[in-house]
Amino acid sequence: MLSGWGQKADWYRNIEITPALEVHTGNQRYVPEQRFLVPEENDTVITEYARLHPLALRLFARSFGYPRGGTEAMRREFASSCA
């Protein structure tokens, strides 16, 4: 999961302090695995998401200022600012 507002988002700060013990989605329950990506991993995750979900990426780019048509350096800079 990516925080569009980085480490300033309340939900992000909440799971840093108290990781989720159980997640409920519909009638499914599971214990999540949680780890925080290092900035270098963010770009890889966003790039793969863009490949798998091009329409959703447009919305993400518009909402959070992701430089879809930008250079690799621009995309990496954006990704390193995300949590």
Q: What is the full per-residue pLDDT of the chain (83 aa) written as tens digits? A: 767 677 788 988 898 899 888 989 899 999 988 888 887 787 788 788 888 988 887 787 777 777 666 677 766 776 666 65
* CA separation for the pair 24, 1 (Å, rounded): 16
Q: What is the pLDDT of residue 49?
A: 82
Q: What is the pLDDT of residue 17?
A: 92
Give the predicted TM-score (pTM) of the model: 0.55
Q: What is the pLDDT of residue 29?
A: 94
| Sign of the dihedral defined by the CA atoms of residues 34, 36, 41, 44, in that order | positive
Q: What is the pLDDT of residue 45?
A: 83
